[in-house]
Amino acid sequence: MTAIAPQVRDALATWGQQLSALNGAAANTVKAYQRDVTGYLHFLGLHRGGAEGLGPLASLPQTDLRAWMAHERARGVSARSLARSLSAVKNFTAWVADRSGADATTVLSARSPKFRRKLPRPLSIDGARDMIDGVADQSGEEWIAARDRAVVTLLYGCGLRISEALGLTGAAHPLPEVLRITGKGGKIRLVPTLPVARQVVADYVRLCPYDLPDDAALFRGARGGALNPRLIALVMEKTRLQLGLPATATPHAMRHSFATHLLSAGGDLRAIQELLGHASLSTTQAYTAVDAARLMEVYEKAHPRA
C-alpha cells in the first residue's frame, strides 16, 4: 500500500484532534473520518504515482476525485458510505486549504452520490410494551430482570441511545423528573422522565447486589462491572424471537419508537428534536415520513373503497 507523506499524516492527526477538541466530535466519529480520509490518500498515491504532499491535496482536479469515487463504488462501497467518506474528505481538504491558502473550490464543490435515506423502523405501541415486559422474563435472577427492564424502559420512555442509558452513573439515582443527558458531540439536553421510568430504575437499584456510588456506572453486569451494551442487544434479540417481532427490534428501535409515537400523538417536531438531541431538524423529520407511511397503510386497509 502506498505510504502517506509524513506531513500529511501529521496533518491528519492534528485535524482529528481538532474535530474532537473544538467541534466536539465523538471518538468513534473521528476514527471513522480519519479512516475514510486515509483510504482516499492511499488511493491518490496509487492513482497519481506517489504520495502527495499537503500543497496539491487542496487543489486536486475533479477528475482525480471522480476516479476515487468510481474506485470505491467498483469495490462495493454503498452510495451512503461513499457520501460519508466524501464528507470526511471535504472536511479535511477545507481544513488543509484554510491553513495553506490554497483554493479548494474544485474538491468542495464535488457532488455527493445520491441515495435513498433509510426510514427509522419503530415498533408498534403494543410491540414496544411487549418488548419491555419480555426482556424482564429472560433472566431467573430478579435483579438482572429488573435491570434489563429499567434499561429498555429508558430507551423507550426517554428516547435515550443505549450509550446514554448505560452512561448514567449512580448519581442519577433517584431518577429526577428531568434528566440531564450528554449526547453525541458532548451536546447536553434535558429529558423529562416518566413516573414509570423512575419506578423501574428504583426497583433495579433496590435489588442490585452491588454498591452504586455516584461516580460509577448505574447499570452493572453480573460480575459487578459496567453493563456491556451487547447484553441488552442479546436479551432484546431473544425477546423479539419469542414475540415474533422483526429483526429491526433493536435497542435503537426503542428510541425510534419513542419519537414516532410522540409524533403520532401530536408531538411538536421541534420539541422532539430537542428530546432526541438531534443537531439538525432534517434528521428528526425522518419520523414524519414514517408517520405518513403508517397512515397510508391504515388508510389502504380500512377505507371501504380500498
User: Is 47 an active-site residue?
Assistant: no
pLDDT at 1 over 50: no
pLDDT band at 22 (very low <50, low <70, confident <90, very high): low
Of 9, 48, 252, 294, the catalytic one is 252
* Catalytic residue flag (residue 31): no
Instruction: Provide the whole-model pTM.
Output: 0.61
* Domain finish residue from 75, 108, 141: 108
**Looking at the structure, do residues 171 and 228 belong to the same domain, yes or no?**
yes
Residue 52's pLDDT is what? 66
Domain shared by 91 and 141, yes or no: no
Task: Please indicate, yes or no, whether residues 83 and 135 belong to a single structural domain of this protein.
Answer: no
User: Which residue in the list 80, 121, 184, 238 is annotated as catalytic?
Assistant: 184
Instruction: Please identify which of the residues 147, 161, 198, 256 carries the catalytic annotation.
Output: 161
Could you tell me if residue 287 is inside a domain?
yes
- Asked if the model's pLDDT at residue 292 lies above 50, the reply is no
pLDDT for 80: 81
Q: How many CB atoms lie within 10 A of CB 247?
A: 10
Amino acid at 211: D
C-alpha grid cell, residue 266? 401530536
Same domain, 186 and 253: yes
Mean pLDDT confidence for 262-271 = 65
Grid coordinates given for 221:
453486569
Is 121 marked active-site?
no
Active site annotation includes 149: no
Give residue 69's domain range. 6-108
pLDDT per position as a tens digit, 95-112: 888 887 777 787 888 887
Cα-Cα-Cα-Cα torsion 172, 181, 125, 267, nearest 10 degrees, comes to 130
Distance of CA 139 to the CA centre of its chain: 28
Q: Could you tell me which of 258, 251, 252 has the C-alpha nearest to residue 272?
A: 258
Total count of domains within the chain? 2
pLDDT value of position 303: 43
pLDDT at 261: 78
Query: For residue 295, what pLDDT band results from cuts at 50, 70 and 90?
Result: very low
Q: What's the pLDDT tens digit per position in 177-233? A: 988 888 776 778 888 888 999 999 999 999 999 999 999 999 999 999 999 999 999
Say if residue 250 is in the same domain as residue 279: yes
Is the pLDDT at 120 greater than 60? The verdict is no
Q: Which three cell numbers stand for residue 58?
A: 487542496
- Are residues 277 and 144 part of one domain? yes
- Does 189 lie in the same domain as 70? no
At which of 80, 108, 136 does a domain end? 108
Q: Do 140 and 245 belong together in one domain?
A: yes
Gap between the Cα atoms of 35 and 15, Å rounded? 12
Residue 306: pLDDT band with limits 50, 70, 90: very low
* Radius of gyration of the chain measured on its C-alpha atoms: 23
- 155 with 187, same domain: the answer is yes
Q: Which of 90, 149, 220, 255 is catalytic?
A: 255
Instruction: Please give the pLDDT value at position 267.
Output: 62
Domain termination residue (choose one: 108, 142, 161): 108
Residue 116 inside a domain? The answer is no
| Residue-level pLDDT at 274 | 66
In this prediction, residue 146 carries a pLDDT of 96
Average pLDDT over residues 146-169: 92
Query: Which helix (H) or strand (E) segment is 180 a member of?
Result: strand 178-182
pLDDT at 226: 95
The verdict on whether 84 is a catalytic residue reads no
Same domain for 265 and 139: yes
Together in a domain, 104 and 164: no
Q: What one-character-per-residue DSSP string does 31-54 give?
A: HHHHHHHHHHHHHHHHHHTS---H
CATH code of residue 273 = 1.10.443.10
- Together in a domain, 231 and 133: yes
Scan for cell 433493536, then name that residue: 250
Percent of the chain predicted with pLDDT > 70: 80
Q: In sequence order, what DSSP letters do the residues of 191-256 get, joined into one string?
A: EE--HHHHHHHHHHHHH-SS---TTSBSSB-TTSSBPPHHHHHHHHHHHHHHHT--TT-SHHHHHH
C-alpha separations of 179 from 171, 208, 261 in Å: 11, 21, 20
Query: Is-catalytic flag, 161?
Result: yes
pLDDT band at 298 (very low <50, low <70, confident <90, very high): very low
